[in-house]
Amino acid sequence: MEKNIAADILELWDKYDGSMEKYDIVSCVKGCYLIHEFFVTLGVPAMHPVANTIKTSCDSLEKIYEGDETKMIGVQSILEEVAKDRKGKRVMTQYQKAALALVHVMEFILTFLKNSVLEEGKFDSPKAAGRAAYADTLSKHHNWAVKKIYNAGMAACPNLNSICCGLFRHKKGTMDVTEAHKAYVKEHIAICIGKGEPLLATLASGLDFEVKEE
């Protein structure tokens, strides 16, 4: 099977063994950049806000090591960063804010892929799968205006064939998707979700404190 984004992500996420102290920020950011590549390749307007959030958050986190991959600090160090407001109460640093935004959007992506790929038959359409994923994740962090934009965009969610195209770095409709491709994608998405969900849960718990603006 040709080189694809799902396999590339697994190479990076396989380094995560449950310890945020050992899991390095370079692998974390590179894996998320690959997901950004997937959505850009897919070329679906509904996913543009998601792709933009990933890119903005990763760009911010990348500044930690400034392109120097020898600065392999653990993700735990970001979670333990301390910034305080004038009253001495802990607030989020810029890197923690970027990490939290990334957690929220990645939760949506994994849920969307689970709905659209692994539980394809559970939903009447890609739109229904996308809206259900949004309702369970990102919508909890959006105001009514943003929710309206996202829900409208979900009407153009990609189906399994389009997702296969994007993961194999092909534009929508430019690849002859076979049953073998679908089976491969389902297998790798299941592994990605299995790796990604505990990683996100650990990140989320590490950022679970009252947020005050700096």
Question: Is residue 210 one of the residues assigned to a domain?
Answer: no
Tokens of 4: 């694809």
pLDDT tens-digit series, residues 161-176: 989 998 988 887 788 9
* CATH number, position 137: 1.10.3520.10
Helices assigned H by DSSP within the chain: 5-13, 25-42, 48-62, 75-79, 94-113, 126-136, 144-153, 160-167, 179-206
Q: Is 32 contained in some domain?
A: yes
Enumerate residue ranges in the chain where pLDDT < 70. 1, 18-20, 22, 67-73, 85, 208-214
Which pLDDT belongs to residue 212? Answer: 46
Q: 93: burial class by Cβ within 10 Å (0-12, 13-18, 19+)?
A: middle
Asked if the structure places residue 17 within a domain, the reply is: yes
Please indicate, yes or no, if residue 142 is contained in any of the structural domains. yes
- CB-CB contact of 209 with 96 (8 Å): no
**Structural domain includes residue 211:** no
Tell me what percent of the chain is helix, strand and coil, each rounded to the nearest 5.
65, 5, 30
Asked if residue 214 belongs to a domain, the reply is no
Q: What is the pLDDT of residue 90?
A: 76
In a domain, 124, yes or no: yes
Q: How far is CA 131 from CA 5, 45, 103, 112, in A?
A: 24, 15, 18, 9
For residue 148, the model assigns a pLDDT of 87
* Domain annotation covers residue 178: yes
- The pLDDT value recorded for residue 67 is 63
Q: What is the pLDDT of residues 166-214, one digit of tens each?
A: 898 888 778 899 999 999 889 988 988 888 888 788 888 877 665 444 4
* Total domains, the chain: 1
Written as six digits, the tokens of 180 are 């073998």
For residue 116, the one-letter residue type is: S
Residue 214, pLDDT score: 41
**Coil, strand or helix at 14:** coil
Note the Cα 32 to chain centre separation in Å: 6
Write out the residue range of the structural domain in which residue 129 sits: 5-204
